Amino acid sequence: MKLLVCCLLAITCCVLANVDKVKRTMKLTEVLKELRELNKSVAHNGMMLNTPTLDIEECCFLSALECFRKMVPSLKAKQKKLQRKVIKNLSPLTFGGVDSCSREERENKVCQGCDSYPMKDSREFVKKLESLLQKAMTRLV
């Protein structure tokens, strides 16, 4: 009887852990879809933005994401409501659990500052952000 209860508890825990991953994956998919939609409404006129590279050091994912988040308002988008939604959805709360670092490790890690990333045009900026989000999805799976 105790063994059965322990097995059921273990199965429940596994299922609940997977539900969290599924929710995060669905949220990332939603953010990617919104970003692609926003990209269609951006007037890519050669505007240059600080763009994090994809070879981000361990424990610096959220820092790079925050840099992207700070730059998104600079995009000349026609759909301002969608732009605000993308900014909101790029919050660190959406991406918790994407890296394997503890809070303490992230706080002790010295990550590259937003201003130190290379300037890229708005098309390249959106492309790099999309790639970073896709990379985040593969880390969840």
The separation between the first and the last C-alpha atoms of the chain, rounded to the nearest angstrom, is 34
Rounded CA-CA distance 74/54 in Å is: 20
Closest CA to 43 of 76, 21, 74, 14: 76
Please tell me the predicted confidence (pLDDT) of residue 108.
84
Tokens representing residue 4 in the block: 């059965």
Q: Which two tokens stand for residue 132?
A: 């970073």
Residue 51 near residue 124 (C-beta atoms within 8 A): yes
Query: What tens-digit pLDDT sequence spans the chain (141 residues)?
Result: 676 666 666 666 555 555 566 777 788 889 999 999 999 999 988 899 999 998 888 788 888 999 999 999 999 999 999 999 999 988 876 666 667 788 788 778 888 999 999 999 999 999 999 999 988 877 765
The reported pTM is 0.80
pLDDT of residue 85: 93
pLDDT at 38: 94
pLDDT at 97: 65
Report which of 57, 80, 64, 79 is spatially closest to residue 125, judged by C-alpha positions.
64
Cβ–Cβ < 8 Å for 31, 133: yes
Distance CA 130, CA 136 (A): 10
